[in-house]
Every structure is written in structure tokens, then in C-alpha cells.
Chain A
Amino acid sequence: MNIVVCVKQVPDTTEIRIDPVKNTLIRTGVPSIMNPFDKNAVETGLRLKDQYGGKVTVISMGPPQAKAVLREALSMGADDAYLVTDRAFGGSDTYATSYILSQAIRKLGPFDVILGGKQAIDGDTGQTAPSIAEHLDAARLTYVLDLKVENDKVIARRQVEEGIEIIETKLPVLCTVTKESNKPRYATIKAKLASLKAEIREITLSDLIDADVTKMGLKGSPTKVKATFTPKRNACGVTIEGNTPKELVVSLVDKLVDAKIL
């Protein structure tokens, strides 16, 4: 089975502090990590490989320092890593990024399963990985807990608000995974050492011969950020007080009736 996992380097948001005066994020000196959900995606890929055999390729778009997260994926057990990098790709929004990644994946493929995290913890859009499926005309399943493959049939369990959805589709498939999907493995010391010496190949604009340049970079991005601001805090909720569950329920129902909800 040919598996590709899309990973992103993000700032470690648990290490971000807020400027007490300007109320903005202090980005300097914040360590970069692999997007945690992408780490789950790498684990999903490795488990598929453990079960069905095949190869796991990891791919990331970003500046040269993003090679660090590719090395991390290699240390976990991925077979190959590619960094998609070019000045022409800079400023890409989720549409352009997903287009560029899809072209790189097409060049490296064909793949049976494409994996990614459900969203990145910096942008939080959750758009890039699913959009790749659109560009490649592959089936798309989000919030996948696990998946089984029989010939070209895929049976996946999806985490949805109401519970767990079991869904069947065909290969090739793109799946995004969540924290609940698995617990990513640790690298062995041996694999970690090998990953630090591994060659990470680059895919640049010149490698994507058939791709449409107008769908790349800042100019190829339909998203325009008009302004960023800190939203006002909404008024807090109401705390219902009482000594017994019965008192609490009565008080709650009264309030709901008053508000004409009941």
C-alpha cells in the first residue's frame, strides 16, 4: 500500500505567551513542532503499513527549516520525506497550498491513502488536507479514527458529533485524523540517529511541470485577510445555585421558561 502523509511545522502554541501590554502573541523564541494532529496522521500511516505492508512517504510544504518535522516523521518510521519549497509558493492560502501539495503528491504517486491531521494548531482552518482530495479527485473522509482496507474497498470509522459513523468508500482516499485516533509512537534511538542523517529531497516549482502557476503563492490565493483583531469577550453565563439536584433542576427550568426556551 502506498501511503503519503502531509505534515506541517507549526509554532508550539503551548509555549506561546501573550504580550501583556499589546495583547498580541509573542512569536519570537517560540519553538517549532510538528502539528500534533499530523503526528497522529503519521501514526495512522505507519499502522496501515504495519498491517498491510507498503511504504509511508511524508511531505511538507514550507521553508527549509520545516525539514525538522520531516526528520521527526522519518524517526517514527516513515520511509521517505520530501519538502515542497519554492519562493513562488510563499504566501499561499489553504487553496493554493492544497493545490501545490496535490501536484507534488501527483508527481510522487500514485498513492492509495493520503493522510493529514484534522487541522493545524496555528491556522486552525482544517481546509488544506480535505482540499487536496478535491484537486486529486479522491474520496475524502475527515475525523477518521481508523480504517480497514480490503482490495480497493475502505471501511473507516469517523468521529462525528453524534457518535461514530462507519463509512465505506474506495481507494484512493484522503483521510484526516484526530487526537483520538491513536497515540503516536516514540522514535527509537537508532531511528532518531538515522533520521538526523537522512537526506530530505526538495520539490520545487521546476519539478511541477504540468502545474498551473496561477494557482500558487500569494497571487494564486483567493483568501485576503482584511484585518485581525481580538474579539470582545461575551458576557459570562449564569451560575445556578442550589443545594440538591432537584433544587438546581427546578431553578434551571424556571429560567428556561422565563427565557421562553421551554
Chain B
Amino acid sequence: MSLLYTEEQKELLALVKEMAENEIKPYVKEADEKGECPKELYKWGFDMGLHMLEIPEEYGGTGLSYETTAMIFEELAKVDAGYAITFVTSFVALRNVILSGTKEQGQYFADKLAPGGFAAFALTEPNAGSDPAAMRSTAVLDGDEYILNGTKTFITNGALSKVFVGFFKTDPSAGHKGISAFIIDADAEGLTVGAHENKMGLRLSNTTDLIFENVRVKASSMVGPEGSGFKLALNALNLSRAFVATLAVGIMQRALDESVKYAKERKQFDTPLIKFQMVQAMLADMAIKIEASRCLVNNTMRMIDQGIMVQKEGSICKAFVSDCAQEVTSNAVQILGGYGYSKEYPVEKLMRDCKVFQIFEGTNQIQRMTIAGVLDKEYK
């Protein structure tokens, strides 16, 4: 553990760890195989308040800092990152409605989640991933309503959510400046949840298509001014990038925990693996990458707590940590050898789970474009 935790943070981490180890961990293996998280497992998180930790108390949240919230989610991700991301996706959506919307919109969204509900962000489309401006979904004004049409894909929490923040072109000719954001209830007429994605990893996380066919929403459900959707999405991504990075730190820490445990127990040539220099180097490199990643996440979270825009830092954080996670989890499989490759042991799942961290919230190639773009401006 590289961070200096306060007594309060230690207590909260111990509580979350106890819950996650006792109530979630025993079901993870089976849920991973099925590709679905049992609904009753969410109740533990809701009861504890994990769905609204960093949401201000006036909206029914706990009002924790981003820094402490991230520590808690790292702990949860050690048990299962897919379970953890279900909550993260939800509160990032809520937080952005609070930041960019009206007080009434924030309250409306928060009230949907407070009793125990999830939300989602509907941005990506089949032909608009890294390039959101290419989206085809449209919102057409009709009296005091907008009519929404289009298909969204890879939507985390698609089938679980009570409410969505959806992105639609209000001006199809205007590129990214033609995108607007709307609050859409999950039970809106014309909104269909598509099939659940059969994914390589993060299999406890729900991922679906969303199909909008003449879905009518009140004009007042537009978040922020018309055409500000792209900016809102970028703000959300700054936050979610730092948060997914914290989950990747959790995955890595678990990989190291399992690797060291195995390297101490497993003997070859009458010697525990941990006494072999080449294994030592691998374990040490894993620890180096984890410590560095955790500090990077922590610093980014503290910047967000200060209200600093973390466009560059969020991208650096997400790209660095997810690249480290690929290497660390792959080496965990290597250290466990044949057992690491077997589903009997937990590390192959960690390797599958963390691959998507290099892809979602903007691929790591896009992160590097963002970082370079900011550098270009900084040195003008």
C-alpha cells in the first residue's frame, strides 16, 4: 500500500473489504462464467451506499471526496471490477447531470438512483466510437418535445438502468457542436434494450445496445444548452477515465496478491518460486507498476477534488494504468504457469477483465492523441 490513508479511510476500506469478500467474492466465478451478475448482489452495494458515495449530501449522497471514493472502488475491484464498474458508470452519469444540468434535473436523476437504482451513459454507436461526432442518432424538436431516434451500442448498465443520459444530434450538419444530451427514463415508450454483449472480460458488468424509435422526451430534459453535448461527454470522460484507472489498480493488486501467494507456496527444484531471481524481477516489476499507478490515480483524484480540469491528467492516468494492468495481469498468469492459464485459478480472469481498460472511455491511442493535443496547446 503506497498511500497514506487517514484513520477514517482505513475504517471505510475495512468495511467495504469485509462486505466484498463475504458477500460478493463467493459468487464471482459462477457469474463470470454465466456472463451475468446476480441482481441480489447489487443490494449489498446499494445498502452500503456505494452507488452515491461522492454525490453531495443535498442530493442524497454521502458527500465523500473523489479521493476516498476511488480508494473504496479499488478495494471493490480487487474482488470484481465488473461489479465495481456497474456502480462507477452510474454515479459518473449522475455527477455529470448535477454538474451540467439544472438543480431540478440533478435532483430528478438522483432520486431515481437513491433508493437503489443504476444509470448509464449512452454515447457510443456502431459507427461512432472514437469519433463521437460521426453519430447518427437524432433529436428533432416537435412542439415542446424532442423525438429521439438511433441505435447506441456497448452501453454499460444498458439493461439495469432506470435512467439514461443519451447523446443525439440536434443539428446533424454541425459535427460535434451539433450534439445535445438528454435525460431519458428507461421505461420511455419506443426505447428497447438490445441483447447483452457476450464479452471477453468484465462479465459481471451489463453491456447492451439501446434502440431509440421515436422516443419522445420533454424539451426540458435537455442537459445544458443545445449543442453542448460533446463538451458534457468530454467532462464525463475526464472523470470516468480516472475512475476506471482506479479499478485497474484493484485488478493489478489482486494479480500481485495471487502471484506472491503462489510464488511462496509453489516449489520447483525444491525451491519456492519466489527465490528464483527471474520470478523476483517479475514480482518486483509488478509492484513498481502498481505503486506508480496508485499514486497517479490518487493525484488525479485530488486534482478533481480541487475542481481542476483533468483532460490531460485523466488521459495519462487511464492510458498508463491500463497499459500497466495488461502487463501485470499477463505476468500473473505467467507466474502461475499452467495453473494461471486454467480457469481453476483466478488470474486468467484478471487478464481478461483488464483488456477492455485499454479500449473503453477512449482507446489508449485516443488518450495519446488527447495528451499530445493538450501539450501542443500548452507549449504555444
Chain A residues engaging chain B, CB cutoff 8 angstroms: 75, 185-190, 192-193, 196
Least CB distance from B25 to A in Å reads 14
B49 within 8 A of A: yes
Q: A188-B49, A189-B16 are in contact. List 7 more A-B contacts (CB 8 A).
A: A186-B18, A186-B44, A186-B47, A186-B48, A188-B47, A192-B15, A193-B62
B12 within 8 A of A: yes
Q: How far is the CA of A186 from the CA of B16 in the complex (A)?
A: 9
Q: Is the CB of A192 within 8 A of B12?
A: yes
Chain B residues engaging chain A, CB cutoff 8 angstroms: 7-8, 11-12, 15-16, 18-19, 44, 47-50, 53, 62, 64, 72
Supposing A186-B15, A186-B19 touch, asked if A193 and B8 sit within 8 A by C-beta, the answer is: yes
Least CB distance from A187 to B in Å reads 6
Q: How far is the CA of A103 from the CA of B307 in the complex (A)?
A: 54
In the complex, what residue of chain A is closest to B8 when comparing beta carbons? Answer: A196
Q: Is the CB of B12 within 8 A of A189?
A: yes
Number of A-B residue pairs with CB-CB distance less than 8 Å in the complex they form: 34
Q: Is the CB of B11 within 8 A of A196?
A: yes
Q: Is the CB of A189 within 8 A of B8?
A: no
Secondary structure at the A interface, as helix, strand, loop or mixed, is: helix
Q: How far is the CA of A98 from the CA of B307 in the complex (A)?
A: 55
Interface centre among A189, A192, A193 (most CB of B within 10 A): A189
Least CB distance from B170 to A in Å reads 39
Which residues on the B side are within 8 Å of A185 (C-beta)?
A: 47
In the complex, what residue of chain B is closest to A197 when comparing beta carbons? Answer: B8
Q: Is the CB of B19 within 8 A of A189?
A: no
Q: How far is the CA of A186 from the CA of B19 in the complex (A)?
A: 7
Least CB distance from B26 to A in Å reads 14
Least CB distance from B354 to A in Å reads 26
Which residues on the B side are within 8 Å of A190 (C-beta)?
A: 49, 62
Which residues on the B side are within 8 Å of A193 (C-beta)?
A: 8, 12, 62
Q: Is the CB of A189 within 8 A of B44?
A: no
Q: How far is the CA of A253 from the CA of B49 in the complex (A)?
A: 59
Q: How far is the CA of A59 from the CA of B49 in the complex (A)?
A: 27
- Which one, B11, B44, B47, B50, contacts A192 given CB within 8 A? B11
Least CB distance from A176 to B in Å reads 24
Which residues on the A side are within 8 Å of B16 (C-beta)?
A: 189
Least CB distance from A178 to B in Å reads 19
